[in-house]
Amino acid sequence: SRNFFIYLQNPFFLLKLIGSSFLGFSALYIGKIWFSYKFFKKRGIKTPEYTFFYGNYLQLTKNNKYSEVLMKWTKQLGKTFGYYQGHLPILVTSDLDMIQEVFVKQSKNFSARKVILF
């Protein structure tokens, strides 16, 4: 235990410890982001092209035309598709049968919905 305190007094040891910890946490975070982008692919749901880290956020916020972008994607990808806000997967549907199933018939299974603040 006494040898450990000798290492702590060495400024290069502390720098290496902090640097390797930062790199380790960064690698874990990047891995989490990379894994989250597989969400829709694993389920066979179409998505528009997205960029790493930002997802589709830049496309949605460009010129404040959020609804126009969603309508364009609906025409391209169909009634049900997914997109990424950052690395958070968002499912979009305009299929009335699915909406009725989720909101009416199985509403107790879908209680946590995202609140959009504008």
Say if residue 55 is exposed, middle or buried (CB neighbours under 10 Å; 0-12, 13-18, 19+): buried
The total number of structural domains in the chain stands at 1
Residue 84: half-sphere exposure toward Cβ, Cα within 13 Å: 24
Parts of the chain with a pLDDT under 70: 1-8, 111-118
Q: Is residue 75 part of a domain?
A: yes
Q: Is residue 117 part of a domain?
A: no
Q: Is residue 56 part of a domain?
A: yes
Tell me what pLDDT residue 103 has. Answer: 79
- pLDDT tens-digit profile of 40-72? 999 999 999 999 889 998 888 887 788 889 999
Q: Distance between CA atoms of 53 and 86, rounded to whole angstroms?
A: 6
Tell me what pLDDT residue 98 has. Answer: 87
Q: Provide the token pair at 1.
A: 């235990």
CA angle (49 as vertex; 48, 52 as ends), nearest 5: 130
Domain of residue 55 covers 2-109
